[in-house]
Chain A
Amino acid sequence: MTKSILLVGVGGQGTILASKILTTGLMEAGYDVKMSEIHGMSQRGGSVSSQVRYGEKVYSPVIEKGAADIIVAFEKMEALRNLDYLKESGTLVVNDEEIPSQSVLIGDETYPPDALEEIQKHTENVKVVDASGMARGLGNEKAANMVLLGTIIHAMGLEEIHWDAILEGNIKPRFLDLNKKAIQMGMGAVAG
């Protein structure tokens, strides 16, 4: 059975690296894997998404609406924006982070204070994680992406994969320890 993981966020939050580590691990574990990214002008502060699908045989790299087993949102508004991708029985992990858009900055729109409540109103399986705060605690806010990767690993039961070895092949040595700890922390954050 093909599983679908949707990672969403804002350009620059590290969704691409997180999905690269994730897909490499899945491939090494023997799964067929496909990943799709749309990244036209996203470097300029737009919404970004990485769609990861794995299983015995994967056909389309694209996740249909209402079909994601898990959505990991690196930002609250992006969680809400993509809520219709979640399966009814799916899990939603949200980083408790708010990044205002250009329209908010210039005063055209207001960032809704109740974005999280709106999400929780419509779906039960929501886990709010302060990934950015945890990463800051580890000394580098940029490792929030690895905390969130950790939440995927736990939620999808992928602990058996040798993530440390995958990290070693993809991350600069001086950031290895930080990233390993961040993944562990993320796994812990959604456990139980």
Chain B
Amino acid sequence: MKQLMTGNEAVARGAYEAGVRHASAYPGTPSTEILENLSTYEEIETEWAPNEKVALESAIGAAIAGVRSMVSMKHVGVNVAADPLFTWAYMGVNTGNVLITADEPGMYSSQNEQDNRNYAKAARWAMFEPSDSQECLDMVKAAYDLSEEYDTPVMIRMTTRVCHSKSIVKLGERADVPVREWVKDPAKYVCLPAIARNLRVKLEDRMQRLAAYSETSPFNQAEYREGKIGVIASGICYYHGKEVFGEDVPYLKLGFTNPLPAKLIRDFCARLETVYILEENDPYIQEFVERLGVSCKIVGKDTFPPYGEMTPDVIRTCIHGQGHKTIDFDRSKLIARAPAFCAGCPHRGLFYRLGKRKDIMISGDIGCYTLAAGKPFSAMDSTVCMGASFSIGHGAQKAFDLTGSNKRVVAVLGDSTFFHTGINSLINTVYNKSNTVNIILDNRITGMTGHQDNPGTGFTAKGRPTTLIKIEELVRAIGIRHIRVIDPNHLQEVDEALDAFLALDEPSVIITRWPCALKKFSQADQDEFTDLFITKNKISEDKCTGCRLCMKAGCPAMSFDTERKKAVIHHAQCVGCDVCTQICKHDAIVKEV
């Protein structure tokens, strides 16, 4: 059967066909849909882990205990998972284990750009790089066989375009993979120094055997043709390159890229005068080819940028100096269309008030709420990585205190981010004693990645009910003595909590609790939050003075009629959160009846 699938869907399908029984992940663009799709297969037990390190460890455990396992994450997630990643490579698997890293050249929804092929090389994992959805499926299946045959974990490096592009895939049947019974084997699975030293030597032997596989892997294919100019490409660059170089030049398509095939590359280059190396981000293949000492001229990152996507446009422009002819127009007429908090977003009320505070530094984090950095809120002063808000806030507060500054730090992160790595940071704050105000935006779901459950929602990745971990109980157990749970849509509650906790000389936690306006509300949500978004507001035109203060709510349900000089609330979009009502000084915003 043929089907149009995204790369992420095809990875999940490949895992299903490969007989995978256990999968774990932490959501992150562009990887999220892999576990969401895996969850649709009854035969696969899937989990949202609190973070990527835990996800990888869960998958390692499953592979040691005898079932094929998968773990998926975005590129920066691999940084979090890097600790087990390196040692797991020493040990080798029992049953197959595959890690999907979804890299993001171009940073469509990420805080940085990093080439995780470097991880495969540094940690000595076997690695594949698919270029379309069919390859995603085929490589995942091949990766499990390879994993077991060579006793190695396998990484599959995807990029956003591969994850989110659709192409046609031929589906197969699920393999019946028997459980490989776990047997006690400390010499393999207990990385004490004496054991690790043995495994380290064996690891080099394994890499040599994998290098031999790489030479004959069906995923490393030379397309020999006449001509002295050729192309080496991996991942989606292979197809981007074909748009520019056409079908008539020789290609070496590299799909298995750690270890790389030295002989195959030498043989390919030997026929050429010039070889173009097309790869996204770092000169990973290029540096390998350069070290081989091939005699042809190598064109790589001296010509192509080491950042952003290597789309056909970019390749064409770098080689020919220009792309296709385009229509010119007056760009000054373009208006920006940046993403914004949705109508009814529970972050709005908090950041509206927080942004107005003087003498505070707002230490932010990764989530929808990072949008508070922009207008009209201007309520975020730093964002680095998941869970960092509390710890960066702590360090900043220490520095302010040490230098006699009266500045105070308010640190902000979301519920899922708190469970991810924010807990560790808060423990540090308590233990090392700073008096930061720590806000946990509990919107009852993992919001930005499209509503995945987390340890605070009461449901698993499979939608099954589970133990709900209460944030207020957790932070109390850590040693926080000042905790307030507030409704962020009530501006007075926000102000009172901030006033009270900024006056303290010990750390505090404010939990803003209101569900994401886009969430599919559970019964528990409906029981806890009465009258959830059931009203709508309107402008009382005789009272509206046209002062535009309500525009500072940055609500997409509101606009301003410049001719009539009145605010407008769009009926279809308003969900009646009442933040604007409280901002208006003229009682001009009222309920529709």
Contact = CB atoms under 8 A, between A and B. Distances in A.
B329 A84 contact: yes
Nearest to B313: A64
A38 B311 contact: no
Contacts of A41: 109, 339, 368, 371, 448
B236 A32 contact: no
A77 B335 contact: yes
A121 B375 CA distance: 33
A80 B338 contact: no
B341 A65 contact: no
B243 A64 contact: yes
A35 interface: yes
Contacts of B291: none
Interface centre among B132, B167, B240, B558 (most CB of A within 10 A): B167
A123 to B, nearest CB: 6
A160 interface: no
Given A34-B167, A44-B368, A66-B326, A112 B335 contact: yes
Interface string B106-119: 00110000000000
B419 to A, nearest CB: 21
A156 to B, nearest CB: 18
A106 B450 contact: no
Contacts of A46: 337-339
B61 interface: no
A101 B338 contact: yes
B158 to A, nearest CB: 14
Interface in A56-103: 58-62, 64-67, 77-78, 80-81, 83-88, 100-103
Chain B interface mostly: loop
B183 interface: no
Nearest to A31: B168
Contact of B239 (A45, A60, A66, A119): A60
Interface stretch (B216-224, B477-485, B548-556): B548-556
Contacts of B335: 77, 101, 103-104, 109-112
A109 to B, nearest CB: 5
Contact of A114 (B316, B333, B560): B333
B325 interface: yes
- Counting contact residues on chain B (CB < 8 A from A), the size range is 35 or more
A92 to B, nearest CB: 9
A88 B327 contact: yes
Chain A interface mostly: mixed
Interface centre among B2, B165, B375 (most CB of A within 10 A): B165
A118 interface: yes
Nearest to A88: B325
Contacts of B108: 38, 40
A64 B329 contact: no
Interface residues of A, number: 60
Contacts of A114: 333
B37 interface: no
A86 B167 contact: no
A61 B340 contact: no
A23 B2 CA distance: 13
B27 to A, nearest CB: 13
Given A34-B132, A60-B240, A77-B337, A40 B29 contact: yes
Given A77-B335, A119-B329, A65 B4 contact: no
Contact of A27 (B2, B242, B313): B2
A58 B132 CA distance: 11
Contacts of A44: 339-342, 368, 371
19 contacts: A34-B132, A38-B160, A44-B339, A44-B342, A45-B337, A61-B165, A61-B239, A64-B311, A64-B323, A66-B323, A66-B327, A77-B337, A84-B328, A86-B326, A102-B337, A105-B556, A106-B552, A118-B329, A118-B330
Interface of A: 10-11, 23-24, 27, 32-47, 58-62, 64-67, 77-78, 80-81, 83-88, 100-112, 114-115, 118-119, 121-123
Interface of B: 2, 4, 29-30, 108-109, 132, 160-161, 164-168, 236, 239-240, 242-243, 309, 311-313, 316, 323-330, 333-342, 368, 371, 375-376, 448, 450, 518, 548, 551-552, 554-556, 558-560
Given A62-B309, A122-B329, 10 more contacts: A24-B4, A35-B167, A38-B160, A45-B339, A60-B236, A64-B243, A64-B323, A77-B334, A106-B375, A108-B375
> Shortest 4 CB-CB distances between A and B: which pairs?
A40-B109, A66-B324, A44-B339, A66-B326
